[in-house]
Amino acid sequence: MTKLGRSEFVRTTAMALASVALSFGATRSFQFRIEFIVETIEYINSKTRTKQYDNISIGTDFDGLADAPKDLYKPSQLDKLIKALGDHKISPDNIKKITSGNALRLLRYGWGNPT
């Protein structure tokens, strides 16, 4: 595993925050669906240097703090999001990065355990 430099750590964190702001900030203006999440992920990835989905991580907010997408409001529906990512030709390795790998990498780095 490659250790992140400070600027890469900041860039990774900024991209994660941009994803949250872009996707959840739009929930009030139209009917929010899984397709919008996938399009947001693809858009953010298109703005990265490597285009390898290394700067995007998703999480859930099933505790009621944000409006959930109409087709993704409970944990049992997460498979719909994974299928939609695959339908958009995002590879299984990149889906794993998006759904868990990038978050784990960032948490490990933040906690000082980059292994």
Binned at pLDDT 50, 70 and 90, residue 3 comes out as: low
Torsion sign over Cα 106, 109, 110, 111: positive
Torsion sign over Cα 96, 98, 102, 104: negative
pLDDT, tens only, 17-56: 444 444 444 444 446 789 988 998 999 999 988 999 998 9
What's the CA gap between 85 and 73, in Å, rounded? 17
Q: What is the pLDDT of residue 68?
A: 73
Binned at pLDDT 50, 70 and 90, residue 64 comes out as: low
- Report pTM: 0.69
